[in-house]
Structure 1
Amino acid sequence: MRDPENFIRAHTVIARPALVPEIALHLATEITPIWQATESWLAQEGIEPPFWAFAWPGGLALARTVLDQPGLVAGKRVLDFAAGCGIGAIAAALAGAAMVEAAEIDPLALAATRLNAALNGVAVATPDGDVVGSACRWDLILAGDVCYEAPMTGHILPWLRAMAGAGAEVWIADPGRAYLPKDGMALISTHRVATTRELEDRELREVTIHRLLP
Protein backbone atom coordinates (compact mmCIF):
# COMPACT_ATOMS: atom_id res chain seq x y z
CA MET A 1 0.00 0.00 0.00
CA ARG A 2 1.14 3.51 -0.72
CA ASP A 3 1.64 5.99 2.09
CA PRO A 4 -1.65 5.79 4.02
CA GLU A 5 -0.67 8.48 6.52
CA ASN A 6 -0.25 11.10 3.80
CA PHE A 7 -3.55 10.05 2.23
CA ILE A 8 -5.35 10.46 5.55
CA ARG A 9 -3.77 13.84 6.23
CA ALA A 10 -4.75 15.06 2.75
CA HIS A 11 -8.41 14.08 3.07
CA THR A 12 -9.24 14.92 6.67
CA VAL A 13 -9.11 17.83 9.08
CA ILE A 14 -8.11 17.78 12.73
CA ALA A 15 -11.21 18.11 14.87
CA ARG A 16 -12.35 17.51 18.45
CA PRO A 17 -15.74 15.78 18.80
CA ALA A 18 -18.17 17.79 20.92
CA LEU A 19 -18.81 14.91 23.31
CA VAL A 20 -15.10 14.16 23.79
CA PRO A 21 -13.22 17.45 23.32
CA GLU A 22 -10.18 16.02 25.14
CA ILE A 23 -9.30 14.00 22.03
CA ALA A 24 -8.18 15.40 18.66
CA LEU A 25 -8.75 13.26 15.56
CA HIS A 26 -8.13 13.29 11.82
CA LEU A 27 -11.76 13.29 10.58
CA ALA A 28 -13.57 13.73 7.30
CA THR A 29 -16.44 16.21 7.05
CA GLU A 30 -18.50 14.30 4.45
CA ILE A 31 -18.73 10.61 3.70
CA THR A 32 -19.11 10.60 -0.10
CA PRO A 33 -15.89 12.50 -0.99
CA ILE A 34 -13.71 10.42 1.36
CA TRP A 35 -15.34 7.20 0.12
CA GLN A 36 -14.69 8.16 -3.52
CA ALA A 37 -11.15 9.28 -2.74
CA THR A 38 -10.44 5.98 -0.99
CA GLU A 39 -11.77 3.95 -3.91
CA SER A 40 -9.64 6.00 -6.31
CA TRP A 41 -6.52 5.77 -4.13
CA LEU A 42 -6.85 2.01 -3.77
CA ALA A 43 -7.87 1.63 -7.44
CA GLN A 44 -10.76 -0.51 -6.21
CA GLU A 45 -14.52 -0.01 -6.36
CA GLY A 46 -17.06 -1.41 -3.94
CA ILE A 47 -14.85 -1.15 -0.86
CA GLU A 48 -16.23 -0.89 2.65
CA PRO A 49 -17.11 2.66 3.75
CA PRO A 50 -14.19 4.52 5.37
CA PHE A 51 -15.49 4.07 8.92
CA TRP A 52 -12.11 5.23 10.26
CA ALA A 53 -12.76 8.78 9.00
CA PHE A 54 -15.58 9.47 11.47
CA ALA A 55 -16.19 9.39 15.21
CA TRP A 56 -19.28 7.18 15.48
CA PRO A 57 -21.79 7.37 18.35
CA GLY A 58 -20.75 4.06 19.91
CA GLY A 59 -17.08 5.01 20.03
CA LEU A 60 -17.89 8.44 21.39
CA ALA A 61 -19.98 6.98 24.22
CA LEU A 62 -17.24 4.51 25.12
CA ALA A 63 -14.56 7.20 25.10
CA ARG A 64 -16.67 9.50 27.28
CA THR A 65 -17.30 6.68 29.77
CA VAL A 66 -13.61 5.78 29.95
CA LEU A 67 -12.48 9.37 30.46
CA ASP A 68 -15.16 10.03 33.08
CA GLN A 69 -14.31 6.86 35.02
CA PRO A 70 -10.58 6.26 34.54
CA GLY A 71 -10.49 3.95 37.54
CA LEU A 72 -12.32 1.35 35.42
CA VAL A 73 -9.41 1.31 32.96
CA ALA A 74 -6.23 2.39 34.77
CA GLY A 75 -3.60 -0.32 34.89
CA LYS A 76 -5.54 -2.68 32.62
CA ARG A 77 -4.70 -4.28 29.28
CA VAL A 78 -7.27 -2.87 26.86
CA LEU A 79 -8.36 -3.80 23.35
CA ASP A 80 -10.33 -1.36 21.20
CA PHE A 81 -12.04 -3.87 18.89
CA ALA A 82 -13.15 -2.71 15.42
CA ALA A 83 -11.48 0.51 16.47
CA GLY A 84 -12.27 2.76 13.49
CA CYS A 85 -10.52 6.04 14.21
CA GLY A 86 -9.16 4.64 17.49
CA ILE A 87 -11.04 6.97 19.82
CA GLY A 88 -11.71 4.24 22.39
CA ALA A 89 -8.07 3.17 22.42
CA ILE A 90 -6.88 6.75 22.82
CA ALA A 91 -9.31 7.37 25.68
CA ALA A 92 -8.07 4.21 27.42
CA ALA A 93 -4.45 5.31 27.06
CA LEU A 94 -5.28 8.76 28.42
CA ALA A 95 -7.08 7.10 31.34
CA GLY A 96 -3.93 5.22 32.35
CA ALA A 97 -4.33 1.78 30.81
CA ALA A 98 -1.20 -0.34 31.16
CA MET A 99 -1.34 -1.48 27.53
CA VAL A 100 -3.67 -0.55 24.68
CA GLU A 101 -4.22 -2.29 21.35
CA ALA A 102 -6.52 -1.28 18.51
CA ALA A 103 -7.79 -4.03 16.21
CA GLU A 104 -9.03 -3.43 12.67
CA ILE A 105 -9.05 -5.40 9.42
CA ASP A 106 -8.79 -2.18 7.35
CA PRO A 107 -5.15 -1.07 7.01
CA LEU A 108 -6.29 2.55 6.56
CA ALA A 109 -8.09 2.37 9.91
CA LEU A 110 -4.89 1.15 11.57
CA ALA A 111 -2.96 4.01 9.95
CA ALA A 112 -5.60 6.51 11.11
CA THR A 113 -5.41 5.12 14.65
CA ARG A 114 -1.62 5.50 14.67
CA LEU A 115 -1.91 9.09 13.43
CA ASN A 116 -4.60 9.91 15.98
CA ALA A 117 -2.67 8.30 18.83
CA ALA A 118 0.41 10.34 17.93
CA LEU A 119 -1.73 13.48 17.73
CA ASN A 120 -2.81 12.87 21.33
CA GLY A 121 0.62 11.84 22.59
CA VAL A 122 -0.31 8.27 23.58
CA ALA A 123 0.95 4.81 22.66
CA VAL A 124 -1.48 2.45 20.93
CA ALA A 125 -0.37 -0.82 19.32
CA THR A 126 -2.03 -1.75 16.01
CA PRO A 127 -1.55 -5.47 15.30
CA ASP A 128 -2.21 -6.54 11.71
CA GLY A 129 -5.00 -8.90 10.75
CA ASP A 130 -8.21 -10.13 12.32
CA VAL A 131 -7.87 -10.74 16.07
CA VAL A 132 -11.06 -12.81 16.15
CA GLY A 133 -9.95 -16.26 17.22
CA SER A 134 -7.01 -14.99 19.27
CA ALA A 135 -6.48 -16.17 22.82
CA CYS A 136 -7.44 -13.64 25.48
CA ARG A 137 -4.63 -11.28 26.50
CA TRP A 138 -6.78 -8.37 27.65
CA ASP A 139 -8.58 -7.29 30.81
CA LEU A 140 -11.07 -5.04 29.00
CA ILE A 141 -12.38 -5.11 25.42
CA LEU A 142 -14.19 -2.06 24.06
CA ALA A 143 -16.48 -2.64 21.06
CA GLY A 144 -18.29 0.38 19.68
CA ASP A 145 -21.13 -0.10 17.18
CA VAL A 146 -20.24 -3.61 15.99
CA CYS A 147 -23.72 -5.13 15.58
CA TYR A 148 -24.80 -3.30 12.44
CA GLU A 149 -24.85 -6.34 10.11
CA ALA A 150 -25.84 -9.97 10.64
CA PRO A 151 -22.61 -11.45 9.14
CA MET A 152 -20.42 -9.14 11.25
CA THR A 153 -22.35 -9.97 14.42
CA GLY A 154 -22.25 -13.69 13.69
CA HIS A 155 -18.49 -13.55 13.12
CA ILE A 156 -17.52 -11.63 16.22
CA LEU A 157 -20.07 -12.41 18.92
CA PRO A 158 -19.04 -16.00 19.75
CA TRP A 159 -15.43 -14.86 20.11
CA LEU A 160 -16.36 -11.87 22.27
CA ARG A 161 -18.41 -14.16 24.52
CA ALA A 162 -15.42 -16.50 24.73
CA MET A 163 -13.27 -13.52 25.76
CA ALA A 164 -15.79 -12.74 28.51
CA GLY A 165 -15.63 -16.37 29.59
CA ALA A 166 -11.81 -16.15 29.68
CA GLY A 167 -11.95 -13.30 32.19
CA ALA A 168 -12.06 -10.13 30.10
CA GLU A 169 -14.74 -7.50 30.58
CA VAL A 170 -16.37 -6.87 27.22
CA TRP A 171 -18.26 -3.60 26.71
CA ILE A 172 -20.47 -3.16 23.66
CA ALA A 173 -21.69 0.36 22.89
CA ASP A 174 -24.70 0.22 20.59
CA PRO A 175 -26.69 3.12 19.08
CA GLY A 176 -29.78 1.05 18.31
CA ARG A 177 -28.53 -1.31 15.61
CA ALA A 178 -30.75 -4.20 14.56
CA TYR A 179 -28.43 -7.07 15.44
CA LEU A 180 -27.54 -6.28 19.05
CA PRO A 181 -28.11 -9.48 21.07
CA LYS A 182 -31.18 -9.42 23.29
CA ASP A 183 -29.82 -11.87 25.86
CA GLY A 184 -26.62 -12.21 27.82
CA MET A 185 -26.11 -8.47 28.22
CA ALA A 186 -25.88 -6.38 31.39
CA LEU A 187 -26.64 -2.67 30.99
CA ILE A 188 -23.86 -0.35 32.18
CA SER A 189 -25.07 3.08 31.05
CA THR A 190 -27.09 5.04 28.50
CA HIS A 191 -25.93 8.13 26.61
CA ARG A 192 -27.55 10.62 24.25
CA VAL A 193 -25.03 11.32 21.51
CA ALA A 194 -25.38 14.01 18.87
CA THR A 195 -24.66 12.89 15.32
CA THR A 196 -25.39 14.13 11.80
CA ARG A 197 -27.64 13.05 8.96
CA GLU A 198 -24.45 12.65 6.95
CA LEU A 199 -23.86 9.48 8.99
CA GLU A 200 -27.20 8.55 10.56
CA ASP A 201 -30.92 8.86 9.90
CA ARG A 202 -31.32 11.25 12.83
CA GLU A 203 -29.37 13.94 14.66
CA LEU A 204 -29.40 12.27 18.08
CA ARG A 205 -28.72 8.65 18.96
CA GLU A 206 -29.35 6.93 22.28
CA VAL A 207 -26.33 4.74 22.88
CA THR A 208 -26.43 1.92 25.39
CA ILE A 209 -23.26 0.41 26.83
CA HIS A 210 -23.64 -3.22 27.88
CA ARG A 211 -21.29 -5.70 29.46
CA LEU A 212 -21.35 -8.91 27.47
CA LEU A 213 -21.88 -11.96 29.67
CA PRO A 214 -20.04 -15.22 28.96
Structure 2
Amino acid sequence: MLDAPTALLPVPLAPELSLHLVTAPVGLFDLTGGEFRSDTPPPFWAFVWAGGQALARYLLDHPDEAAGRRVLDVATGSGVAAIAAARCGAAQVAVTDIDPEAVAAAHRNAAANGLTLTDRVDEPELVLAGDVFYSPIVAPQMTTQLRAARRNSASVLVGDPGRGYFPERLFTLVTEYVVPVPVHLEETGELRTGVWRMR
Protein backbone atom coordinates (compact mmCIF):
# COMPACT_ATOMS: atom_id res chain seq x y z
CA MET A 1 0.00 0.00 0.00
CA LEU A 2 0.96 3.62 -0.50
CA ASP A 3 2.60 5.30 2.47
CA ALA A 4 1.70 8.86 1.48
CA PRO A 5 -1.43 11.00 1.77
CA THR A 6 -3.76 11.27 -1.21
CA ALA A 7 -6.66 13.56 -1.97
CA LEU A 8 -9.31 13.77 -4.66
CA LEU A 9 -7.92 16.45 -6.98
CA PRO A 10 -8.88 17.79 -10.41
CA VAL A 11 -6.68 16.65 -13.29
CA PRO A 12 -4.64 19.72 -14.36
CA LEU A 13 -5.28 19.38 -18.11
CA ALA A 14 -8.74 17.82 -17.71
CA PRO A 15 -10.33 19.43 -14.64
CA GLU A 16 -13.68 17.84 -15.51
CA LEU A 17 -12.16 14.70 -13.96
CA SER A 18 -10.85 14.19 -10.42
CA LEU A 19 -8.44 11.52 -9.20
CA HIS A 20 -7.08 10.32 -5.88
CA LEU A 21 -3.50 11.59 -6.16
CA VAL A 22 -0.49 11.97 -3.89
CA THR A 23 -0.54 15.40 -2.29
CA ALA A 24 3.01 15.47 -0.91
CA PRO A 25 5.79 17.01 -3.03
CA VAL A 26 7.49 13.68 -3.71
CA GLY A 27 8.88 11.82 -6.71
CA LEU A 28 7.97 8.32 -7.80
CA PHE A 29 10.82 6.56 -6.02
CA ASP A 30 10.44 8.63 -2.85
CA LEU A 31 7.36 6.47 -2.29
CA THR A 32 9.42 3.27 -2.47
CA GLY A 33 12.16 4.28 -0.06
CA GLY A 34 14.34 5.35 -2.98
CA GLU A 35 14.54 1.81 -4.32
CA PHE A 36 13.28 -0.01 -7.39
CA ARG A 37 12.15 -3.56 -6.66
CA SER A 38 11.20 -5.76 -9.60
CA ASP A 39 8.69 -7.73 -7.53
CA THR A 40 6.76 -4.60 -6.50
CA PRO A 41 6.13 -1.99 -9.19
CA PRO A 42 6.49 1.62 -8.04
CA PRO A 43 3.17 3.39 -7.54
CA PHE A 44 2.82 4.96 -10.99
CA TRP A 45 -0.93 5.09 -10.29
CA ALA A 46 -0.49 7.66 -7.49
CA PHE A 47 0.31 10.36 -10.06
CA VAL A 48 -1.40 11.62 -13.20
CA TRP A 49 1.23 11.46 -15.93
CA ALA A 50 1.48 13.76 -18.94
CA GLY A 51 0.62 11.11 -21.54
CA GLY A 52 -2.56 10.08 -19.77
CA GLN A 53 -3.58 13.71 -19.27
CA ALA A 54 -3.11 14.42 -22.98
CA LEU A 55 -5.21 11.40 -23.96
CA ALA A 56 -7.92 12.42 -21.51
CA ARG A 57 -8.02 15.99 -22.83
CA TYR A 58 -8.12 14.79 -26.43
CA LEU A 59 -10.97 12.37 -25.78
CA LEU A 60 -12.99 14.90 -23.82
CA ASP A 61 -12.60 17.36 -26.70
CA HIS A 62 -13.32 14.66 -29.33
CA PRO A 63 -15.86 12.34 -27.66
CA ASP A 64 -16.70 10.59 -30.94
CA GLU A 65 -13.34 8.80 -30.69
CA ALA A 66 -14.72 6.74 -27.77
CA ALA A 67 -18.50 7.10 -27.84
CA GLY A 68 -20.26 3.77 -28.28
CA ARG A 69 -16.97 1.87 -28.65
CA ARG A 70 -15.32 -0.91 -26.69
CA VAL A 71 -12.18 0.65 -25.18
CA LEU A 72 -9.08 -0.86 -23.60
CA ASP A 73 -6.64 1.30 -21.60
CA VAL A 74 -3.33 -0.55 -21.28
CA ALA A 75 -0.88 0.27 -18.48
CA THR A 76 -3.73 2.32 -17.05
CA GLY A 77 -1.93 3.80 -14.04
CA SER A 78 -4.41 6.17 -12.38
CA GLY A 79 -6.99 5.35 -15.06
CA VAL A 80 -7.30 8.94 -16.31
CA ALA A 81 -7.55 8.04 -20.02
CA ALA A 82 -10.01 5.22 -19.33
CA ILE A 83 -12.17 7.50 -17.19
CA ALA A 84 -12.22 10.12 -19.96
CA ALA A 85 -13.32 7.44 -22.44
CA ALA A 86 -16.11 6.36 -20.10
CA ARG A 87 -17.17 10.01 -19.67
CA CYS A 88 -17.39 10.23 -23.48
CA GLY A 89 -19.99 7.46 -23.57
CA ALA A 90 -17.88 4.44 -24.48
CA ALA A 91 -19.90 1.23 -24.58
CA GLN A 92 -17.38 -0.46 -22.29
CA VAL A 93 -13.98 0.54 -20.90
CA ALA A 94 -11.52 -2.01 -19.57
CA VAL A 95 -8.26 -1.30 -17.75
CA THR A 96 -5.15 -3.44 -17.51
CA ASP A 97 -1.83 -2.94 -15.72
CA ILE A 98 0.98 -5.15 -14.48
CA ASP A 99 0.31 -3.67 -11.04
CA PRO A 100 -2.96 -4.78 -9.44
CA GLU A 101 -2.80 -1.64 -7.27
CA ALA A 102 -3.10 0.43 -10.45
CA VAL A 103 -6.19 -1.45 -11.59
CA ALA A 104 -7.71 -0.93 -8.14
CA ALA A 105 -6.80 2.78 -8.26
CA ALA A 106 -8.40 3.16 -11.71
CA HIS A 107 -11.65 1.63 -10.43
CA ARG A 108 -11.55 3.83 -7.32
CA ASN A 109 -10.96 6.93 -9.45
CA ALA A 110 -13.73 5.98 -11.87
CA ALA A 111 -16.17 5.59 -8.99
CA ALA A 112 -15.17 9.05 -7.71
CA ASN A 113 -16.29 10.38 -11.09
CA GLY A 114 -19.56 8.41 -11.07
CA LEU A 115 -18.30 6.02 -13.75
CA THR A 116 -17.64 2.29 -14.05
CA LEU A 117 -14.73 0.42 -15.63
CA THR A 118 -14.21 -3.30 -16.23
CA ASP A 119 -11.13 -5.52 -16.24
CA ARG A 120 -11.77 -7.16 -19.59
CA VAL A 121 -13.17 -6.25 -22.98
CA ASP A 122 -13.51 -8.52 -25.99
CA GLU A 123 -12.20 -7.21 -29.31
CA PRO A 124 -11.54 -3.60 -28.30
CA GLU A 125 -12.26 -1.01 -30.97
CA LEU A 126 -10.08 1.67 -29.35
CA VAL A 127 -6.85 1.04 -27.44
CA LEU A 128 -5.33 3.78 -25.29
CA ALA A 129 -1.79 3.91 -23.90
CA GLY A 130 -0.39 6.86 -21.98
CA ASP A 131 3.28 7.24 -21.08
CA VAL A 132 4.19 3.65 -21.87
CA PHE A 133 7.47 4.16 -23.76
CA TYR A 134 9.58 5.08 -20.74
CA SER A 135 12.20 2.29 -20.75
CA PRO A 136 14.14 0.19 -23.26
CA ILE A 137 12.63 -2.96 -21.73
CA VAL A 138 8.97 -1.88 -21.66
CA ALA A 139 8.87 -0.03 -25.01
CA PRO A 140 9.26 -3.05 -27.33
CA GLN A 141 6.71 -5.03 -25.32
CA MET A 142 4.21 -2.19 -25.62
CA THR A 143 4.94 -1.80 -29.32
CA THR A 144 4.20 -5.48 -29.90
CA GLN A 145 0.96 -5.30 -27.93
CA LEU A 146 -0.25 -2.15 -29.68
CA ARG A 147 0.65 -3.42 -33.16
CA ALA A 148 -1.33 -6.60 -32.46
CA ALA A 149 -4.35 -4.48 -31.51
CA ARG A 150 -3.95 -2.42 -34.68
CA ARG A 151 -3.79 -5.57 -36.81
CA ASN A 152 -7.09 -6.58 -35.20
CA SER A 153 -8.62 -3.36 -36.56
CA ALA A 154 -8.55 -1.39 -33.31
CA SER A 155 -7.76 2.30 -33.44
CA VAL A 156 -4.71 2.95 -31.23
CA LEU A 157 -4.06 6.29 -29.51
CA VAL A 158 -0.91 6.96 -27.51
CA GLY A 159 -0.04 9.90 -25.28
CA ASP A 160 3.71 10.48 -25.13
CA PRO A 161 5.73 13.41 -23.74
CA GLY A 162 8.97 12.43 -25.47
CA ARG A 163 10.08 9.72 -23.07
CA GLY A 164 12.86 8.61 -25.41
CA TYR A 165 11.78 5.13 -26.49
CA PHE A 166 8.68 6.10 -28.47
CA PRO A 167 8.65 4.45 -31.96
CA GLU A 168 7.50 7.59 -33.76
CA ARG A 169 7.81 5.97 -37.21
CA LEU A 170 4.74 3.83 -36.42
CA PHE A 171 2.52 6.78 -35.54
CA THR A 172 0.98 9.97 -36.88
CA LEU A 173 0.77 13.02 -34.64
CA VAL A 174 -2.85 14.03 -33.97
CA THR A 175 -2.31 16.98 -31.64
CA GLU A 176 -0.04 18.35 -28.93
CA TYR A 177 -0.65 19.86 -25.52
CA VAL A 178 1.51 21.63 -22.97
CA VAL A 179 0.69 19.56 -19.92
CA PRO A 180 1.14 20.83 -16.34
CA VAL A 181 3.16 18.33 -14.29
CA PRO A 182 4.62 18.33 -10.76
CA VAL A 183 8.16 19.70 -10.73
CA HIS A 184 9.21 17.18 -8.07
CA LEU A 185 8.13 14.36 -10.41
CA GLU A 186 9.38 15.59 -13.79
CA GLU A 187 11.99 18.26 -12.91
CA THR A 188 9.94 20.75 -14.94
CA GLY A 189 6.53 22.33 -14.54
CA GLU A 190 5.18 21.33 -17.95
CA LEU A 191 5.79 18.84 -20.73
CA ARG A 192 4.89 19.17 -24.40
CA THR A 193 2.97 15.97 -25.00
CA GLY A 194 1.70 14.47 -28.23
CA VAL A 195 -1.37 12.39 -28.89
CA TRP A 196 -0.41 9.94 -31.61
CA ARG A 197 -2.44 7.55 -33.75
CA MET A 198 -0.85 4.26 -34.78
CA ARG A 199 -0.68 3.86 -38.55
Q: Secondary structure at the match of 1:143?
A: strand
Aligned counterpart in structure 1 of residue 86 of structure 2, from 85, 93, 96: 93
Residue 136 of structure 1: CA displacement?
Answer: 6.6
Higher relative contact order (CA 8 A, sep 6+): 2
Aligned counterpart in structure 2 of residue 120 of structure 1, from 113, 117, 121: 113
Q: Which 5+ residue runs of structure 1 have no aligned equivalent? A: 128-134
Whether 2:6 is the aligned partner of 1:12: answer yes
> C-alpha separation between the residues in 2 aligned to 1:20 and 1:184?
27
Tell whether the 8 Å contact from 2:26 to 2:185 is kept in structure 1 after alignment. Answer: no
> C-alpha separation between the residues in 2 aligned to 1:31 and 1:203?
13
Whether 2:137 is the aligned partner of 1:173: answer no
Q: Which 5+ residue runs of structure 2 have no aligned equivalent? A: none
Tell whether the 8 Å contact from 1:30 to 1:198 is kept in structure 2 after alignment. Answer: no
Superposed CA RMSD:
2.3
Residue 150 of structure 1: CA displacement?
Answer: 0.8
Deviations 1:142-173 (A, max 9, x none): 11011010110111211211211110011111
> C-alpha separation between the residues in 2 aligned to 1:33 and 1:201?
9
Q: What residue is the counterpart of 1:70 in the other structure? A: 63
Q: What residue is the counterpart of 1:79 in the other structure? A: 72
Sequence identity (%): 40
Distance verdict in 2 for CA 1:168–1:31, change over 3 Å:
farther
Distance verdict in 2 for CA 1:178–1:136, change over 3 Å:
farther
* Structure 1 ranges of 4+ moved more than 3 A: 30-39
Distance verdict in 2 for CA 1:11–1:22, change over 3 Å:
same
Q: AA paired with 2:188?
A: R
Aligned counterpart in structure 1 of residue 177 of structure 2, from 191, 203, 207: 191
Q: What residue is the counterpart of 1:109 in the other structure? A: 102
Larger C-alpha radius of gyration, 1 or 2? 1
